Homo-oligomer: A and B are copies of this chain.
Amino acid sequence: TQCAGKKLTGLVAATFTPFTSQGEVNLSEIGPYIDYLKEKQGVNSIFVNGTTGEGMSLSVDERKLLAEDWCRKAKGKMEQVIVHVGCTSLKDSQELARHAVGIGADGIAVIAPSFFKPRSAESVRAYLQTVADVAPNVPFYYYHLPALTGVNVPASDLLEGIETLIPSFRGVKFSGSNLMDLGQCISRIQPHWSILYGVDEQLLAALALGAHGAVGSTYNYLGSHMNKLLSEFDSGNLVQARNLQFKMQELINHAVKVGFDVGVNKQLMNEVSGLQLGPPRLPILPCPQSHAIAIKQKYQHLFSVH
């Protein structure tokens, strides 16, 4: 087809959006960020303007600016740049999808609209189709995040007949904990589709069920360790893979107990990577540095980084 693309696999970092300390988009940090992911974390694909990237808190113009810069600077360095174009307004999503074509994105993704929450697979599919229609030659991914969107239509229901409606359909970023639904997606897909798991702390479970890769925020700073998990799993070393997953869980479990949101996550990334990604944008409150440093110490303790 015209929209072949390369099958998306492995770890995909859901990138944070760099802001200045005044809260404006800061493009100058994108280059170093891409280098960091590639060189220090071994991460070769990125998912931009998604939840981690606070896409919903950006204006359409900011999203375009960012998407363009990510695509341009990732060229030759990253395998794939997936641009998230979902929001609550269909028109805005269409505009962002059209823009993604022009900047050479390797794929676009759309989350279910979350203010008016569709209750049927039919209405979600109709919505996704209307976005996909304006960018028919770009691989299209559905971004399934029921806990945040409140849209509880099973992803496997959504997949029924979707290739007819959306010929550019290429897979799902599945960020849910219903693994029956995940399994039913995987067991029914076309060979060129990818099911990428998005709940980082239970990635190994999804791999056991056949997930082709993973998209998540923790791969920003745990990419090298989670790449090791992937390779242990591929080699059939379940015990080693499990130990890595358990360590990673211990970190997240700890973070959740002391307080963890996109703002904390972003500041943790700043502390671990040395990048200057700035604060989050309201309604997410900035994270006190000391709070992120304490989580970083847990990280270093668990993964023996000295």
Contacts of A186 in B (CB 8 A): 246
The answer to whether A249 has its CB under 8 Å from any CB of chain B is yes
**Does any Cβ of B come within 8 Å of A72's Cβ?**
no
Q: How far is the CA of A209 from the CA of B117 in the complex (A)?
A: 31
Closest residue of chain B to A186, judged by CB? B246
Q: Which residues of B sit under 8 angstroms from A209, Cβ to Cβ?
A: 202, 204-205, 242, 245
A303 interface residue (CB < 8 Å to B)? no
Within A102-130, which residues are at the interface with B (CB < 8 Å)? 112-118, 120, 122-124, 126-127, 130
A46 within 8 A of B: no
Total copies of this chain within the assembly: 4
Given contacts A57-B90, A177-B178, A283-B127, contact A208 B201 (CB under 8 A): no
Residue of B nearest to A181 (CB): B253
User: Judging by beta carbons under 8 Å apart, are B282 and A123 in contact?
Assistant: yes
User: Scoring A residues 173 to 188 as 1 if CB is less than 8 Å from chain B, else 0, what string do you get?
Assistant: 0000111100110110
* Interchain nearest-CB distance for A206 vs B (Å): 7
Tell me whether A134 is interfacial, beta carbon within 8 Å: no
Instruction: Decide: B283 and A116 in contact? CB cutoff 8 A.
Output: yes
Do A205 and B184 have beta carbons less than 8 Å apart?
no
Ordered by A's residue number, 21 sampled pairs between the chains whose C-beta atoms are within 8 Å are A51-B115, A54-B116, A57-B116, A59-B60, A87-B88, A88-B115, A90-B281, A90-B283, A112-B283, A114-B114, A126-B283, A130-B282, A177-B177, A180-B252, A180-B253, A183-B201, A183-B202, A183-B245, A187-B250, A208-B208, A208-B242
| 4 A-B pairs with least C-beta separation | A205-B205, A208-B208, A179-B202, A56-B115
